Structure 1
């Protein structure tokens, strides 16, 4: 279970110490991946003059070793400034709790870009649900598409855990995340990297992605970054390019289950799920089956008439 207190308190509780930098290990789960070089240099100069004013948050992982939970910018600045030790607050946290705290701490400071925030939330869901990271987007898409929230008992439990995660983070709902954030992960690599490094806004990257040809995307991206083009400027460029023929490319094959396969899958799910124990769900399913039977019956009547 996620700790609700972590969503509001990221620094007060815990034992305070001063430890050597050599006792600190960075976390692979760190939400923030991009550190602005200029701002890092400014922070390093400040640390040289004033030291570390706010303790780093760490968790114990081994004898005399601690994992950094929050404060990696200060940690890096301390290294660059030549410090040998830093003040820390030690908190006994699980990996899941540590990621939640790190994510909340960065969100409160507005330090994360949309890619870092999206990837971190997916990682947090992965830990919470004990499922591979790669399976989380498809799970959210499936649940979001569930008609009138008609889900099985197992999915109801999963949905509760997902809602718990987003309530603890407190920035957006899981449905909004599935609708508006997950699509950015489908952006081409060059646009995704520009987003991750903070070189361009999500709305601009999404607009550039509308160009089908990769080379044109890359050229417009370069111009947008170099010239600090507005979204309107980018859209105007795209409109002007729309009249110019683009290089044709062979689309990648997309797997789509056959109609027969989908019908077979639905049949298996209906036999396996407890839909029939719920009156409202049972009536809805029976109505849909009746509509399907009517469609098939009409199709048979048309075939019979055409054969006369």
Structure 2
């Protein structure tokens, strides 16, 4: 029997999804069997904590066509907020499709949920039903941790990095943060896929990727391992070109690495030649300063001697 690493396994979260929340042993496709009610569409609002930020326009068009023909077969899960309004917990794609079709009302199941319950359900439902992009998954988990620990996003990230450094013995353990660390570890165990340390080492670096790489990653156009590799190219124009070619030709990770290895030596050569020309021009402009300043003159003489030796070695 094939064994899968934890990060490759599908989500089998201990946290409650929609079906578990509604005390059903079935999947969320049977939500329509629950008592639903129609509410005005303008009384429903999107949740700021929705993990999924990108919706494939082609899939949205197909969903609109289906709803236009058959109606909304599965009600949205919402929770009441102030002034008789409802916030979406699960079903944003159906909500957007309903808006696109100009519907005046939508079927919903209303449940009283806390902030953390709402985020948990939204995250788990997206992970189980349609794959989130790694970036969306990362942001969703950070939202969940933020609510669970009562820390803001940046504080959560700092805490995770501190936990990593503590586990490696780079810093002493923070007794005051022990309870928070225990809570974070438990949440990752409950999610049932990535361990907390794997999340720190493989997912948090995604937040530091260049904007052009982040954009295609969020849209699911490229795998995160390929995105991380391409991001190593610091030249914006070269990175953009490689990114477009990798997506258009569906390059493998090894192909991307091969192309980067071809590009970098040439780029480095051009960079060094440009630096050499620029430095030479600056030296010509500033030669009087080197001649009149004893310390700078001595330093320049030493550097020129090193260059002479380098040239002689090349010959």
**Inter-CA distance 231–50: structure 2 relative to 1 (3 Å threshold):** same
Indicate the SS of the match to 1:191: helix
The one of 155, 159, 164 equivalent to 1:144 is: 164
Indicate the SS of the match to 2:80: strand
Contact 1:115 1:195 in 2 (8 A): yes
The one of 196, 204, 207 equivalent to 2:226 is: 204
The one of 199, 202, 222 equivalent to 2:244 is: 222
Deviation at 1:8, TM superposition (A): 7.2
Deviation at 1:11, TM superposition (A): 6.1
Q: Distance in 1 between matches of 2:73 and 2:185?
A: 36
The one of 137, 144, 160 equivalent to 2:182 is: 160
Q: Distance in 2 between matches of 1:160 and 1:97?
A: 19
Q: Distance in 2 between matches of 1:232 and 1:181?
A: 21
Instruction: Spell out the pairing of 1:15-94 with structure 2 (5 A cutoff).
Output: 16-94=36-114
The answer as to 2:256 corresponding to 1:234 is: yes
Contact 1:30 1:99 in 2 (8 A): yes
Residue in structure 2 matched with residue 6 of structure 1 by the alignment: 16
Structure 1 length as normaliser, TM-score? 0.74
Structure 2 length as normaliser, TM-score? 0.73
Q: Distance in 1 between matches of 2:18 and 2:45?
A: 25
The one of 155, 170, 173 equivalent to 2:195 is: 173
Deviations 1:140-186 (A, max 9, x none): 01111214786333222011210232233222211111121111111
RMSD: 2.3
Structure 1 runs of 4+ aligned residues shifted over 6 Å read none
Deviations 1:269-297 (A, max 9, x none): xxxxxxxxxxxxxxxxxxxxxxxxxxxxx
- Unpaired runs of 5+ residues, structure 2, are 1-12, 24-33, 276-315
**Inter-CA distance 173–7: structure 2 relative to 1 (3 Å threshold):** farther
Residue in structure 1 matched with residue 299 of structure 2 by the alignment: none
Q: Distance in 2 between matches of 1:225 and 1:5?
A: 35
Indicate the SS of the match to 1:242: helix
Indicate the SS of the match to 1:158: helix
Deviation at 1:62, TM superposition (A): 1.8
Contact 1:7 1:169 in 2 (8 A): no
Residue in structure 2 matched with residue 110 of structure 1 by the alignment: 130
